[in-house]
Amino acid sequence: MSLYSPYKGKKGVKRIINAFYYSITGLIIAYQHEAAFRQIILMNLILVPLSFFINVTSIERALMIAVCLLAIVIELFNSALEAVVDRISLERHILSKNAKDMGSAAQLIAIFIILSTWLIILSH
Protein backbone atom coordinates (compact mmCIF):
# COMPACT_ATOMS: atom_id res chain seq x y z
CA MET A 1 0.00 0.00 0.00
CA SER A 2 1.36 3.41 -0.99
CA LEU A 3 1.61 6.21 1.54
CA TYR A 4 0.67 8.67 -1.18
CA SER A 5 -2.66 9.47 -2.76
CA PRO A 6 -3.32 7.62 -6.00
CA TYR A 7 -4.42 10.96 -7.46
CA LYS A 8 -0.93 12.44 -7.06
CA GLY A 9 0.36 10.44 -10.04
CA LYS A 10 -1.62 12.44 -12.58
CA LYS A 11 0.42 14.73 -14.82
CA GLY A 12 -0.09 17.37 -17.45
CA VAL A 13 -3.50 18.48 -18.62
CA LYS A 14 -5.28 15.64 -16.80
CA ARG A 15 -3.86 16.88 -13.48
CA ILE A 16 -4.96 20.45 -14.24
CA ILE A 17 -8.47 19.28 -15.15
CA ASN A 18 -8.69 17.15 -11.99
CA ALA A 19 -7.39 20.01 -9.82
CA PHE A 20 -9.96 22.39 -11.30
CA TYR A 21 -12.76 19.86 -10.71
CA TYR A 22 -11.66 19.27 -7.09
CA SER A 23 -11.49 23.03 -6.47
CA ILE A 24 -14.98 23.66 -7.83
CA THR A 25 -16.28 20.70 -5.83
CA GLY A 26 -14.69 22.14 -2.69
CA LEU A 27 -16.37 25.51 -3.25
CA ILE A 28 -19.74 23.83 -3.81
CA ILE A 29 -19.40 21.67 -0.69
CA ALA A 30 -18.36 24.67 1.41
CA TYR A 31 -21.32 26.68 0.13
CA GLN A 32 -23.80 23.86 0.70
CA HIS A 33 -22.63 22.83 4.16
CA GLU A 34 -20.96 25.82 5.83
CA ALA A 35 -23.12 28.74 6.98
CA ALA A 36 -20.03 30.81 7.78
CA PHE A 37 -18.78 30.34 4.21
CA ARG A 38 -22.12 31.54 2.82
CA GLN A 39 -21.94 34.59 5.10
CA ILE A 40 -18.43 35.44 3.87
CA ILE A 41 -19.61 35.02 0.26
CA LEU A 42 -22.55 37.37 0.95
CA MET A 43 -20.19 39.92 2.49
CA ASN A 44 -18.00 39.70 -0.64
CA LEU A 45 -21.02 40.06 -2.93
CA ILE A 46 -21.71 43.37 -1.19
CA LEU A 47 -18.22 44.75 -0.56
CA VAL A 48 -16.43 43.86 -3.80
CA PRO A 49 -18.95 45.59 -6.11
CA LEU A 50 -19.22 48.46 -3.61
CA SER A 51 -15.48 49.05 -3.94
CA PHE A 52 -16.04 50.06 -7.58
CA PHE A 53 -18.42 52.85 -6.57
CA ILE A 54 -16.04 54.41 -4.05
CA ASN A 55 -13.61 57.09 -5.16
CA VAL A 56 -10.30 55.38 -4.37
CA THR A 57 -7.14 54.64 -6.34
CA SER A 58 -6.73 51.40 -8.25
CA ILE A 59 -4.24 50.16 -5.67
CA GLU A 60 -6.61 50.95 -2.81
CA ARG A 61 -9.47 49.19 -4.63
CA ALA A 62 -7.27 46.15 -5.28
CA LEU A 63 -6.36 46.05 -1.59
CA MET A 64 -10.01 46.38 -0.54
CA ILE A 65 -10.93 43.45 -2.80
CA ALA A 66 -7.88 41.35 -1.82
CA VAL A 67 -8.67 41.47 1.89
CA CYS A 68 -12.26 40.41 1.16
CA LEU A 69 -11.05 37.46 -0.91
CA LEU A 70 -8.58 36.58 1.84
CA ALA A 71 -11.54 35.96 4.16
CA ILE A 72 -12.89 33.39 1.68
CA VAL A 73 -9.55 31.59 1.62
CA ILE A 74 -9.32 31.56 5.41
CA GLU A 75 -12.88 30.27 5.74
CA LEU A 76 -12.11 27.44 3.32
CA PHE A 77 -9.07 26.46 5.42
CA ASN A 78 -11.11 26.78 8.62
CA SER A 79 -13.87 24.58 7.22
CA ALA A 80 -11.33 22.03 5.98
CA LEU A 81 -9.65 21.97 9.39
CA GLU A 82 -12.98 21.40 11.10
CA ALA A 83 -13.80 18.56 8.69
CA VAL A 84 -10.46 16.85 9.35
CA VAL A 85 -10.86 17.19 13.12
CA ASP A 86 -14.39 15.75 12.91
CA ARG A 87 -13.16 12.94 10.62
CA ILE A 88 -10.58 11.91 13.21
CA SER A 89 -13.11 11.79 16.03
CA LEU A 90 -16.39 13.38 17.03
CA GLU A 91 -15.69 12.92 20.73
CA ARG A 92 -14.83 16.03 22.69
CA HIS A 93 -11.13 16.55 23.14
CA ILE A 94 -9.22 19.66 24.17
CA LEU A 95 -6.87 19.42 21.15
CA SER A 96 -9.84 19.21 18.78
CA LYS A 97 -11.43 22.20 20.48
CA ASN A 98 -8.17 24.14 20.33
CA ALA A 99 -7.72 23.40 16.62
CA LYS A 100 -11.26 24.51 15.81
CA ASP A 101 -10.99 27.62 18.00
CA MET A 102 -7.71 28.61 16.31
CA GLY A 103 -9.30 28.23 12.88
CA SER A 104 -12.15 30.43 14.03
CA ALA A 105 -9.66 32.96 15.42
CA ALA A 106 -7.97 33.12 12.00
CA GLN A 107 -11.30 34.09 10.46
CA LEU A 108 -11.89 36.70 13.16
CA ILE A 109 -8.51 38.25 12.34
CA ALA A 110 -9.46 38.24 8.65
CA ILE A 111 -12.63 40.19 9.48
CA PHE A 112 -10.55 42.68 11.49
CA ILE A 113 -8.19 43.02 8.52
CA ILE A 114 -11.12 43.81 6.24
CA LEU A 115 -12.59 46.29 8.69
CA SER A 116 -9.32 48.09 9.36
CA THR A 117 -8.29 48.16 5.69
CA TRP A 118 -11.60 49.59 4.56
CA LEU A 119 -11.69 52.12 7.43
CA ILE A 120 -8.14 53.30 6.78
CA ILE A 121 -8.74 53.71 3.05
CA LEU A 122 -12.11 55.39 3.47
CA SER A 123 -10.91 57.77 6.18
CA HIS A 124 -8.22 59.49 4.11
Asked whether the predicted pLDDT for residue 118 surpasses 90, the reply is yes
Between these two residues, 21 and 4, which has the higher pLDDT value?
21
Residues 44/68, Cβ–Cβ less than 8 Å: yes
Mean pLDDT value across residues 90-118:
96
Q: Rounded CA gap, 43 and 45, in Å? A: 5
- For residue 9, the model assigns a pLDDT of 67
Domain boundaries, the chain: 1-33, 35-122
CATH number of 35-122: 1.10.287.3610
pLDDT in tens, 28-76: 999 999 999 999 999 999 999 999 999 999 999 999 999 999 999 999 9
- Stretch 17-36: mean pLDDT, rounded? 96
| Contact indicator for 81, 103 with CB cutoff of 8 Å | yes
Tell me, what's the pLDDT at 24?
A: 97
Q: Which pTM was predicted?
A: 0.86
pLDDT recorded at residue 2: 56
Specify the amino acid at residue 93. Answer: H
48 in Cβ contact with 68 (< 8 Å): yes
- Choosing from 34, 60, 75, 91, which is the catalytic residue? 75
Task: Confirm whether 60 is a catalytic residue.
Answer: no
